[in-house]
Amino acid sequence: MKNKIIMFWAIVILTIISVVIIKVKPIPLGLDLVGGSRIVLEAQKTANISEITNDMMDGLKVAVENRVNALGVSETMVQRMGEKRLLVEIPNVADPKYAREIIGETAELDFKKPILDSNGMVIDWESSGLSGEDLKKAEVAADSAGGWYISLKFNDSGAEKFEKLTREYLHHQIAIYFNGKLVSDPVVQSVIPGGMAQITGSFTKDEAKKVVDFLNAGALPVPAQIVEENTVGPTLGADSLHKSKFAAMIGIAAVMLFMIFYYRVPGVIANIALIIYSLIVFAIFKIVPVTLTLAGIAGFILSIGMAVDANILIFERTKEELKSGRTLFTAINSGFDRAFTSIFDSNMSTIIICVILYCLSSNIVKGFALTLAIGVLVSMFTAITVTKNLMHLMFGTGQLKHPALFGLKDSDINQAYEASETKREKAKFGVLD
């Protein structure tokens, strides 16, 4: 009994911790619950790119992910669609137009050296070999006059190229192009070592930040065009969330009522375990964290049904043991032991399917698989540990004096005891069936 009490308080502490986590940490919500933009990008062939390869698409995916992250929006999603398309989902985006621009533009930075005539005049520009690929970091900075410029820091290779460029064209102009457009053509006043440079111009703070976001995210390895765009409004997302919560509450309430009606006191215990289960699962969702979508909510609600299913198997086995004349303590232990194999096999089969879905499916299905897998694992813990300990603490170790508490009839228990007594009497006189 001492061990049961210790386990009981451990469950209470775990429940309290789960409640605290739920209160403190917000749960990330997906696009379908908070609204946002869904954009489909298609890689484009050019005169220099005759075929879109997997490596190009992988590079494009990384570059787009970097750009989306620069928006400062959490829980974004970028995934491949077919051979040359990317699906980009940006939940809760404040400026869809800016999101479109930063995702779709090429963002090519090029330092060009001058082509001089015999008099030293600039007649054209040609690439110096220094580009955005040599960039380590870009930042927005303010000058003493209150204007804005872009501070650049090159990697080691870029620093060498830039120092060589400034030495070779000392007291001449160099041109800085962004997306094929001239943004600055300063005169080199001195050799610049260390890989630091500036892009000056009539930038506003927002314009400078936009260029910096592009540069830090990197150039797209292949041109991409937005071929499809859908916007989910926050009102629609909030309505979906409200309906999902309502459906979940109706489903849980119906399950709880059924358990109480059919299994009586064990049903009440199962409902308590179900509440503890829900708190633990939501706490895990917030710790991981799991981005909650409509599919994820569906996975969670399905796992509730599986948690109750485990209790039903246990209670039915326990009732069979009581009908055979066993004491409460023995019947409860035997019921759990006999049901465990079925519970374990069915839950492990579900978890294997969840792993397959998570590894091979789209992000929407991944959310469903992840929430279902977490729910199934926690349900095994609550069914085997929480329910069992609560039943032992409530019913003790004696005989079942009130069969109705287990949804049984008096005649069921009386017949069981009579049969048990008959067996004992036969055994006493050496009579075996």
Instruction: Select from 162, 182, 216 the last residue of a domain.
Output: 216
* Residue 416 covered by a domain: yes
**Are 295 and 397 within one domain?**
yes
Closest CA to 112 of 178, 52, 58: 178
**Are 101 and 118 within one domain?**
no
Q: For position 431, what pLDDT does the model report?
A: 42
185-189, 358-362, 387-391, 408-412: which has the minimum mean pLDDT? Answer: 408-412
CATH of the domain at 64: 3.30.70.3400
Query: Considering its fold, how many domains does the chain have in total?
Result: 3
Report the distance separating Cα 254 and Cα 261, nearest Å. 11
**Are 296 and 358 within one domain?**
yes
Give 231-278 pLDDT, tens digit per residue: 776 666 677 778 878 888 888 888 889 888 888 888 888 899 889 998
Q: For position 352, what pLDDT does the model report?
A: 94
**Are 40 and 8 within one domain?**
no
Q: For position 427, what pLDDT does the model report?
A: 46
* Residue 431 covered by a domain: no
Phi, psi torsion values for 122, nearest 5 degrees: -75, 125
* Residue 432 covered by a domain: no
| Whole-number average pLDDT of the chain | 80
Report the distance separating Cα 211 and Cα 98, nearest Å. 12
**Are 19 and 101 within one domain?**
no
Q: For position 234, what pLDDT does the model report?
A: 64
* Residue 433 covered by a domain: no
**Are 140 and 259 within one domain?**
no
- DSSP class of 203: E
**Are 270 and 410 within one domain?**
yes
Highest mean pLDDT among 1-10, 269-278, 422-431: 269-278
CATH of the domain at 134: 3.30.1360.200
Query: Which two tokens mark 233?
Result: 């409004």
**Are 45 and 22 within one domain?**
no
**Are 150 and 195 within one domain?**
yes
CATH of the domain at 285: 1.20.1640.10
Torsion on CA atoms 327, 333, 336, 338, rounded to nearest 10 = -80
Report the distance separating Cα 309 and Cα 329, nearest Å. 22
Report the distance separating Cα 83 and Cα 75, nearest Å. 24
Contacts of 132 (CB under 8 A, 6+ apart): 107, 108, 109, 110, 215, 218, 219
Query: Which two tokens mark 374?
Result: 């977490």
* Residue 430 covered by a domain: no
**Are 304 and 366 within one domain?**
yes
> What is the rounded average pLDDT of the residues 44-63?
84
Task: Please check whether residue 184 is in contact with residue 199, taking contact to mean a CB–CB distance below 8 angstroms.
Answer: yes
**Are 176 and 308 within one domain?**
no
* Residue 31 covered by a domain: no
**186 lies in which domain range?**
109-216
Contacts of 271 (CB under 8 A, 6+ apart): 256, 259, 260
Percent of the chain with pLDDT over 70: 85
Higher pLDDT, 264 or 1: 264
Higher pLDDT, 342 or 31: 342
